[in-house]
């Protein structure tokens, strides 16, 4: 299957390209980036494909069946919709888009074209996450009444002044960039409860005066001190659903001791703490004793699982859990969170 990579930056090189290279069914035919050197470097590094700067050239090639959209968030919607209309199947990185309205447009075009539109909610292909979902589905935790979401880092603002910290490009900060994964895991594991109300607050504090921001390492750096910093570097909020309540505590940077990246699923029979990107522990009580255990399971790389399933579903037509129809609800919740923060009041969802 002939595929193309649109946007040859961090995530393309760290995850998408190596996963396609490992898949015996896939052949990367184009590397596209508006920075020509990035596309050319990829051709050289991976020893395949053609470097192009305009994604429309990729879409004009009838042999291309699938594209990975690995660009900044501001062009997710336009590129994904153009690709769908050109008859391509699309794996678009998370978040689906900058706003709920953009994500709805993408979903509409997916429905019109019938081509696949999956979003890069890669945790849905993570063995630990799927095991937790099985535990919850099978009733092992009892009633899960509260999900405590913490994605708080001590100092981890990405590319200060660049695409990630510019609202017009990214759509938001810590919530849309990291929170999207955490909310997605919570929704997926809890069987996609219906969100009812959202109350959120956002703060733009530690990176606001860019020159004063102290840090050791910066991903997606270096900083551009003449750039823009107008996004949330910290959020807190509460989401009521027709299932559990989600409490959300997130930050790219906070004056805390160390990073706190986990989700607590609290059930009346047992609870689980998932350390993000790692393993999980089950906490319960048996015969009057307190018990905790860490399940051992077979773990396979989730980005590879995601790409392999994407290639496979194009052939089989299987609707994956990362389909836009399953993921759009998170875009709705994040939009409500930001709207609530702006209005300083609770938003009631329809
Ligand atoms: N799934 C994950 O865990 C994960 C991790 C990191 C990033 N991401 C997502 O991946 C996306 C990209 O992030 P990144 O860290 O790779 O950013 P990046 O800046 O490293 O790379 C983006 C690349 O896209 C290129 N680009 C911009 N506009 C383009 C266009 N119109 N056509 C072609 N190329 C274009 C840029 O020149 C750049 O090389 C973001 O949406 C981000 O949220 C997801």
- The CB of 70 under 6 Å from ligand 1? The reply is yes
Q: Which atom of ligand 1 is nearest to 158's Cα?
A: 15
For ligand 1, atom 3, which residue shows the shortest CA distance?
122
pTM for the full predicted model: 0.97
- CA dist 180 → 10, 87, 223, 248 (Å): 18, 28, 24, 11
Q: What is the pLDDT of residue 240?
A: 98
Above pLDDT 90, what percent of the chain?
99
Mean pLDDT, the chain, whole residue set? 98
Question: Quick one: pLDDT at residue 73?
Answer: 98
> In angstroms, what is the span from residue 10 Cα to ligand 1's centroid?
6
Query: Quick one: pLDDT at residue 227?
Result: 98
Return the CA Rg of the chain.
20
Q: Whose structure tokens read 């860019």?
A: 210
Q: What are phi and psi of 247, to 5 degrees?
A: -105, 135
CATH numbers and ranges of domains, the chain: 2-120+304-322 (3.40.50.720), 124-302+331-348 (3.30.360.10)
pLDDT tens profile 81-129? 999 999 999 999 999 999 999 999 999 999 999 999 999 999 999 999 9
Which DSSP symbol is given to 165?
A: G
46-63: pLDDT as tens digits: 999 999 999 999 999 999
For 7-33, what is each residue's pLDDT tens digit?
Answer: 999 999 999 999 999 999 999 999 999
Task: Report how far ligand 1's centroid is from the alpha carbon of 257 (Å).
Answer: 30
More confident residue, 299 or 237: 237
**Tell me: the pLDDT tens digits for 169-226?**
999 999 999 999 999 999 999 999 999 999 999 999 999 999 999 999 999 999 999 9
Q: Does the beta carbon of 187 lie inside 6 Å of ligand 1?
A: no
18 φ/ψ angles, rounded to the nearest 5 degrees: -60, -35
Ligand 1 atom with least separation from CA of 159: 19
The encoded tokens of residue 256 equal 């805390």
Tell me what percent of the residues of the chain surpass a pLDDT of 70.
Answer: 100
DSSP 9-61: SHHIIIIIHHHHHH-TT-EEEEEE-SSHHHHHHHHHHHT-SEEES-HHHHHT-
């Amino acid at each position: 299957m002939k595929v193309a990579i649109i946007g040859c930056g961090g995530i393309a090189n760290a995850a998408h390209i190596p996963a396609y290279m490992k898949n015996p069914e896939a052949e990367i035919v184009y590397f596209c980036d508006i920075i020509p050197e990035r596309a050319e470097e990829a051709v050289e590094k991976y020893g395949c494909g053609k470097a192009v700067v305009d994604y429309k050239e990729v879409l004009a090639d009838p042999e291309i069946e699938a594209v990975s959209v690995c660009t900044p968030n501001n062009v997710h919607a336009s590129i994904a919709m153009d690709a769908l209309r050109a008859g391509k199947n699309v794996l678009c990185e998370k978040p689906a888009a900058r706003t709920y309205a953009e994500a709805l447009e993408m979903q509409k075009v997916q429905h019109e074209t019938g081509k696949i539109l999956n979003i890069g909610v890669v945790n849905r292909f993570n063995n630990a996450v799927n095991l937790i979902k099985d535990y919850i589905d099978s009733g092992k935790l009892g009633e899960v009444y509260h999900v405590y979401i913490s994605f708080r880092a001590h100092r981890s603002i990405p590319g200060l002044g660049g695409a990630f910290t510019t609202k017009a490009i990214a759509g938001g900060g810590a919530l849309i960039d990291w929170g999207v994964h955490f909310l997605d895991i919570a929704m997926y594991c809890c069987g996609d409860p219906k969100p009812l109300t959202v109350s959120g607050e956002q703060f733009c504090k530690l990176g606001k005066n860019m020159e004063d921001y102290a840090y050791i390492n910066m991903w997606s750096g270096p900083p551009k001190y003449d750039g823009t910093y107008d996004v949330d570097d910290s959020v807190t909020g509460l989401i009521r659903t027709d299932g559990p309540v989600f409490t959300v505590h997130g930050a790219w940077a906070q004056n805390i001791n160390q990073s706190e990246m986990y989700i607590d699923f609290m059930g009346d029979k047992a609870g689980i703490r998932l350390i993000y990107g790692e393993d999980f522990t089950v906490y319960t009580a048996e015969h009057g004793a307190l018990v905790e255990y860490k399940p051992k399971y077979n773990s396979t790389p989730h980005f590879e699982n995601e790409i392999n399933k994407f290639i496979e579903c194009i052939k089989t037509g299987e609707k994956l859990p990362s389909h836009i129809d399953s993921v759009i609800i998170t875009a709705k919740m994040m939009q409500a969170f930001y709207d609530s923060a702006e209005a300083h009041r609770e938003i009631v969802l329809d």
